[in-house]
Structure 1
Amino acid sequence: MKILKLTQGSPDWLAWRQLGIGGSDAPIIMGVSPYSTREKLLGQKLGLVPKDEAYAMRRGSRLEPSARGMYQIREGYSSAEPVCVIHPDFDWCRASLDGLVLGAMDQPSHVLEIKCWSWQKHDYVLNGIVPDEVYPQIQHQLFCCELDRCDLVSYNPSEKFLATGEEYACLTVKADATYQASMFKEELRFWEELNERLRARTVRSGWQAPITEDL
């Protein structure tokens, strides 16, 4: 994988995300996102549909540092810094990781994905269940990084879970080569369609498309 020095949330990071397919795009492309659709995502990538920052996303950004710190303490990792990565062979395949835990000795590196979900989805993780909507995101990240493991952390510091000491849950998700192959086909199809629409706009209006890379 190629690691980039980008500050997540910065204008440069937003522009970089626009020029590829990221982990949060994967559930939409695979048709399991409850928040968006493939056509809406195409419109956003084309600059025709504004992106909305949902309350859940703002809440996640606020709670993520606490969740990362708890992960490091409970699981015994000294560092799990957020990074941006690109697949070594497919420049459009990108991921903004909540954390990359670098391997040491005989332990390989792995990905950290943090979710600050509602109590219903937090309950899933507490019971060892990976919610459907996050599975494509995790598999995309693992494919992009060429790694085999992601730790999915769910953090919900509400009174309901603080009272029982269950505000934190962690599940290990392994790479699924069969799913990744299917997902790659869908993502590539999406990428090709996006580029075709960008080229069509360029021909019609003379507008310079932001994505110029040949497939």
Structure 2
Amino acid sequence: MNQTPLLDVRDLTKYFTVRGGFLGRGRKRVRALDHVSLTIYPRETLGVVGESGCGKTTLGRTIVRLLEPDEGHIFFEGTDIARLSRRQLRAFRPHMQIVFQNPYSSFDPRFSVLESIAEPLRTHTDLRGDALVDRARELLERAGMPGEILFRYPHEFSGGQLQRLAIARALALNPKFIVLDEPTSALDVSVQAQIINLLQ
């Protein structure tokens, strides 16, 4: 394939320090990611399969730098974002998004739907006022949700509805790359099908 990779991960390694021993006084390092390498091209989908606890979530969070890698490289459109400072990384944030496994913990309960979706738009775009509200409504409709829910709060929605809202928020900045951390695993089978259809 002659195309330039969108994402090229090389030898990515992540350690966690855990307590152990008598009364939890000892500490040991656990390797959650062990020299993982993968390549993803534009418009390509990659599924990572493994048993619970094998590091799938850690991999996704480390790729988008929600967790810091201990070793390895993460090339996004040719730039090694593993070497960027938090300030430098901000320019890449709009292009890389993540949808978490648990929709109930994905939203601040104090924020309305509008506030949750508007947050990345306010941070990374010039949209304000009516233009911001219109963009939020458009995203909701793309996710199969009515625009009039903008002023409701997370506790008013089911798990499937919250996951749709999480996807709408992830799409807000037209990202080039999205990590989907088992976005249907906590949902009923009928709702799983709806979410999969939405993502396609």
Higher helix share: 1
TM-score (norm 2): 0.24
TM-score (norm 1): 0.23
Higher strand share: 2
